[in-house]
Structure 1
Amino acid sequence: MVTKPDRRRWAVLAFATLGQFVVAIDVTVANVALPSIQAAVGLSDSTRQWVVAAYSLAFAGALLSGGRLADTVGHRRTFVAGLASFGLASIVAGCAQEPVLLLVGRVWQGLSGAVLAPSALAIVSATFPRGRDRARAMGIYSSVAASGLALGLVVGGLLTQILTWRWAFWFVLPFVAVAAVGGATLLPREAHAVRVPRNDLVGGGLLLAGLAALALGVARSQSDGVDPTVVALLAAGVLSIVALILVERRASAPLLPPAVVAQPARAGAYLVTTCVLMGLFGLFILATFYLQDVKGYSPVATGLAFIPLVVSMALGATVLSGRFANTHPRLLILAGLGLAVTAVMIMRQLNPTSSYVTVLLPAEILLGFGLGTVLVPCTNISTYGVVPGNAAAASAIYAAVQQVSAAIGTIVLNGMAAAGAASWAAAHPDAAPFENTIAGLVDALGLTIGLLVLAAVVAVLFIRPTEPSGPAPPNRSPDSGDLAMAAHPTSRTSREEP
């Protein structure tokens, strides 16, 4: 029998997951719509990726401050406020008539998501602190988050062709309203003092400035080569990150709590996620342009072509991860990476006459299962055993890793594909444009394979087999305790929820 408190917990999970879904789907919803957006607002080939990257960079740069704000002000307040701000930003982005306003809206969406996302994950982690239900809840949360990334490709294509690309941004508004009302109604009120430490704001500003400078430098180097402006941007980015480290060492409430980031398995989960999303996220954009520019797919057909990826990602996150819940996270991660590498190797066989059914479809299915299988244990490890005062901060660090990786991966892979296409065109002046596109895609996929292999090495080195589950030694803090419960969520000592 399901008791009323149990029903309330699962309802909380539903609304928190819906908030994360809103954030996740907007990461990719513009991808399939990008050719239409580019034509409508006048973006160049070298700047089009900023419609995607501006969102991810603003999101990533503000996430740590957003996590600290949530821990200070209260998860309920920041969850609801983040949703309201996200809705307003979506309206602005959808109403844009020129590039500047569109990018302003995307940056605003990213900043709003930086407050919303860590609050949502912290709410789920606090609602399901341990046991079988935590494993199930994290599987659902990860599945919805991962599926939102893939579903954005489908929704963006459908809305762009049936209505207009503007609805790719307005689409989330009903979900925002439902999640905000549900969160305001169900989540308990928190009595937190509304005060953010000064160093948190300084550190947040340095992080945002550093990421922006590095991303701009990388993007410019891809299109214009290494010139004085590129050197200045990269230097400014590095100096900002160094300054951030110095500020954090003296901060009373650092954005990067040592007890959170110093745990080896948790650090390993962050690094695996970085490599995986850097290598794979840019493929969504490249696959979109392959289907539309090379194969001649419409936006709707392109969106529908990604449905197998959505379904297999959801199944990988729920069915496979649930079926092997007692398997050590490292084994799950390595298995998922093996599937992803196989998928990318299949994609490297793409050519102008490739059949969707024999090449892209099996690659999508393998890639979806692989991503889902990797992300669930990484999400669980990244938030398990964190003390309440660091809950949103830990969630923010993991979300920031995802967004930074996605943004940098998008910029680098798009730039590498463009450079590869240009190089092929110069060497083969009689080649058709689609042949140049294929050459660039193959170059970018080579980098993706290298990053996935690096992720496997990191998993082996950092995410080691845990000691038997049980109480942590007296001299070990909860943040740095063993991750046996995360590795074996249904072990004998963890069957009962508190």
Structure 2
Amino acid sequence: MVTQPDRRRWAILAFATLGQFVVAIDVTVANVALPSIQADIGLSDPARQWVIAAYSLAFAGALLSGGRLADTAGHRRTFIAGLVSFGLASIVAGSAQEPVLLLVGRVWQGLSGAVLAPSALAIVSATFPRGRDRARAMGIYSSVAASGLALGLVVGGLLTQLLTWRWAFWFVLPFVAVAAVGGAALLPREAHAVRVPRRDLVGGSLLLAGLAALALGVARSQSDGLDTTAVTLLTAGVVSIVALVVVERRASAPLLPPAVVAQPARVGAYLVTTCVLMGLFGLFILATFYLQEVKGYSPVATGLAFIPLVASMALGAMALSGRFANTHPRLLILAGLALAVAAVMIMRGLDPTSSYVTVLLPAEILLGLGLGTVLVPCTNISTYGVGPRQAAGASAIYAAVQQVSAAIGTIVLNGMAAVGAASWAADHPDAGPSESTIAGLVDALGLTVGLLVLAAVVAVVFIRPTEPPDPTPPSRSPDSGALAVAAHPTSRTSREEP
């Protein structure tokens, strides 16, 4: 029999997960719509990637400040405020008549998501602090988040062709409203908000500026080589990050709390996530352009073609990894990486005559299972045992890792694909554009394989169980911050900030 408190906990999970779904789906919802957006408002080829990267970079750069704000102002307040702000930003992005306003809307969405995402994960982590219920909750949360990334491709394609690309941004508004109302009704009210320290705001600004400069520098170097502009941007990015380190060393409440980032298992989860998302996220865009430009798929057909990826990702997150995320995380991560490598190797066999059923479909299924299986244990480790005053901060660090990896991976893989396509076209003047596109895709997939192998090495070295096989909850308070076995079975447990 499910008690009233249990029903309330699972209802809270549903609304928090819906908030994360809103953030996740907007990472990819514009991918399939990009060709239509480009034609409608006059985006240039170099600018089109920034419809994706502007969201991810703003999201990543502001996440640590967003996590700090959530921990000080209260998770309920920032969850609801983040939803409202995200809804307004979505209206602006969908109403844009020119590239500048669209990019402003995407940046605003990213900044809103930077407040919303860590609040949502902190709420789930605090509601389910340990045990089997935590593993189930993290499996559901991760599957919805991962499925949102893939479902964005489907929704974007369907809405672009059946209605207009603008509905790809307006689509989230009903979900925003439901999550905000549900959160306001169920989440407990918190004490008076604490003012965010000025140094935290300075640190967050430096982080955002540094990431933006590095991303712009990488993009410039991909298209024009290491010219003066690229070198200047890269230098500015490095200087900003160095300044961030100096500021954080003197901060009384740093954006990267040592108690959160000092655990080896948590560092391993960050590194595995970095390698996986850098290697795989750019493939969503590359696969989109392959289907539309090489195979001639419509936006609707392209969106529907990604449904197996969505379904298999949810299956991998819930059925294959949710049950064992606490006790066998390294085994799950290695199994998921093996599936992802197999998917990438299948995709390297693409050519203009490849059949969707025999090549892309099995690759999507394997890739979805692999991603879902990897992300659940990494999400669990990233927040396990963190005290309530650092829960949103820990969530923000993990979300920042995801977004930086996705943004940089998108820029680098698309740059590699463009360079590879141009090189192939120069060496094979009689070849058509389809052959050049595929040659660039194959070059980018080579980097993906290398990153997935590196992720496996990191998992072997760093990842340990978060809980022993015995599912009986320990007698200690769930907020005590025990993460000893997450770091190493023989390491000593240290109490984090209460």
Q: Assess same fold via TM > 0.5.
A: yes
Asked if structure 2 preserves the Cα contact closer than 8 Å seen for 1:338 and 1:370, the reply is: yes
Aligned counterpart, 2:74: 74
Aligned pairs for 1:435-450 (under 5 A) are: 435-450=435-450
Asked if structure 2 preserves the Cα contact closer than 8 Å seen for 1:467 and 1:482, the reply is: no
Query: Shift of residue 326 of structure 1?
Result: 6.2
Aligned pairs for 1:386-465 (under 5 A) are: 386-464=386-464
Deviations 1:120-176 (A, max 9, x none): 000000001111111100000000000000000000000000000000000000000
Task: Give the match's secondary structure for 2:32.
Answer: helix
Task: Give the match's secondary structure for 1:139.
Answer: helix
The AA in structure 1 aligned to 2:41 is V
The AA in structure 2 aligned to 1:5 is P
**Residues 319-328 or 132-141, more deviating:** 319-328
Q: State the distance in 1 between where 2:440 and 2:72 align.
A: 47
Aligned pairs for 1:224-303 (under 5 A) are: 224-303=224-303
Query: Shift of residue 192 of structure 1?
Result: 3.3
C-alpha RMSD over aligned residues: 1.8
Q: State the distance in 2 between where 1:313 and 1:384 align.
A: 23
Task: Give the match's secondary structure for 2:430.
Answer: coil
Q: State the distance in 2 between where 1:350 and 1:388 align.
A: 48
Q: State the distance in 2 between where 1:433 and 1:62 align.
A: 39
Asked if structure 1 preserves the Cα contact closer than 8 Å seen for 2:282 and 2:409, the reply is: yes
1:135 is aligned to 2:158: no
| Identity across the alignment (%) | 88
Deviations 1:180-205 (A, max 9, x none): 01111111100033400111001000
Deviations 1:417-437 (A, max 9, x none): 011001111111111011110
Aligned counterpart, 2:357: 357
Q: State the distance in 1 between where 2:466 and 2:143 align.
A: 25
Aligned counterpart, 2:307: 307
The AA in structure 2 aligned to 1:127 is T
1:180 is aligned to 2:180: yes
Task: Give the match's secondary structure for 2:47.
Answer: coil
TM-score, normalization by structure 1: 0.95
Task: Give the match's secondary structure for 2:296.
Answer: coil
Query: Shift of residue 325 of structure 1?
Result: 4.9
Asked if structure 2 preserves the Cα contact closer than 8 Å seen for 1:70 and 1:118, the reply is: yes
Q: State the distance in 1 between where 2:475 and 2:218 align.
A: 44
Asked if structure 2 preserves the Cα contact closer than 8 Å seen for 1:142 and 1:376, the reply is: yes
Aligned pairs for 1:87-236 (under 5 A) are: 87-236=87-236
1:482 is aligned to 2:477: no
Aligned counterpart, 1:39: 39
Asked if structure 1 preserves the Cα contact closer than 8 Å seen for 2:464 and 2:488, the reply is: no
Task: Give the match's secondary structure for 1:32.
Answer: coil
Asked if structure 2 preserves the Cα contact closer than 8 Å seen for 1:60 and 1:114, the reply is: yes
Q: State the distance in 2 between where 1:278 and 1:226 align.
A: 22
Query: Shift of residue 485 of structure 1?
Result: 11
The 3 A distance-change label for structure 1 pair 451 and 45 is: same
Q: State the distance in 2 between where 1:466 and 1:54 align.
A: 35
Q: State the distance in 1 between where 2:357 and 2:285 align.
A: 20
Q: State the distance in 1 between where 2:49 and 2:199 align.
A: 32
Aligned counterpart, 1:491: none
Aligned counterpart, 1:385: 385
Deviations 1:40-84 (A, max 9, x none): 111122221100000000000000000000000000000000000
Q: State the distance in 2 between where 1:321 and 1:426 align.
A: 46
Asked if structure 2 preserves the Cα contact closer than 8 Å seen for 1:380 and 1:486, the reply is: no
Q: State the distance in 1 between where 2:384 and 2:147 align.
A: 22
Task: Give the match's secondary structure for 1:46.
Answer: helix
Query: Shift of residue 479 of structure 1?
Result: 4.6
Q: State the distance in 1 between where 2:181 and 2:42 align.
A: 37
Aligned counterpart, 2:11: 11
Asked if structure 1 preserves the Cα contact closer than 8 Å seen for 2:265 and 2:487, the reply is: no
Query: Shift of residue 262 of structure 1?
Result: 1.0
Query: Shift of residue 464 of structure 1?
Result: 3.6
Task: Give the match's secondary structure for 2:207.
Answer: helix
Deviations 1:280-332 (A, max 9, x none): 00000000000000000000000000000000000000000135456421110
Task: Give the match's secondary structure for 2:45.
Answer: coil
Query: Shift of residue 486 of structure 1?
Result: 12
The 3 A distance-change label for structure 1 pair 204 and 484 is: closer
Aligned counterpart, 1:375: 375
Q: State the distance in 2 between where 1:301 and 1:382 align.
A: 37
Query: Shift of residue 342 of structure 1?
Result: 0.4
Task: Give the match's secondary structure for 1:190.
Answer: coil
Q: Which runs of 4+ in 1 moved over 6 A?
A: 469-473
Query: Shift of residue 461 of structure 1?
Result: 1.1
Deviations 1:358-398 (A, max 9, x none): 00000000000000000000000000000111100000000
Query: Shift of residue 416 of structure 1?
Result: 0.6
Deviations 1:399-445 (A, max 9, x none): 00000000000000011101100111111111101111000000000
Q: State the distance in 2 between where 1:107 and 1:201 align.
A: 18
Asked if structure 1 preserves the Cα contact closer than 8 Å seen for 2:327 and 2:467, the reply is: no
Asked if structure 1 preserves the Cα contact closer than 8 Å seen for 2:58 and 2:107, the reply is: yes
Asked if structure 1 preserves the Cα contact closer than 8 Å seen for 2:326 and 2:377, the reply is: no
Q: State the distance in 2 between where 1:307 and 1:465 align.
A: 32
The 3 A distance-change label for structure 1 pair 325 and 95 is: closer
Asked if structure 2 preserves the Cα contact closer than 8 Å seen for 1:73 and 1:194, the reply is: yes
Q: State the distance in 2 between where 1:44 and 1:415 align.
A: 15
Task: Give the match's secondary structure for 1:191.
Answer: coil
The AA in structure 2 aligned to 1:167 is W
Asked if structure 1 preserves the Cα contact closer than 8 Å seen for 2:147 and 2:313, the reply is: yes
The AA in structure 2 aligned to 1:179 is A
Q: State the distance in 2 between where 1:2 and 1:335 align.
A: 34
Task: Give unmatched runs, 5+ long, in structure 2.
Answer: 490-498
Query: Shift of residue 483 of structure 1?
Result: 3.5
Deviations 1:448-470 (A, max 9, x none): 00110111111111114678589
The AA in structure 2 aligned to 1:436 is S
The AA in structure 2 aligned to 1:222 is Q
Query: Shift of residue 99 of structure 1?
Result: 0.6
Task: Give the match's secondary structure for 1:47.
Answer: helix
TM-score, normalization by structure 2: 0.95
The AA in structure 2 aligned to 1:273 is T
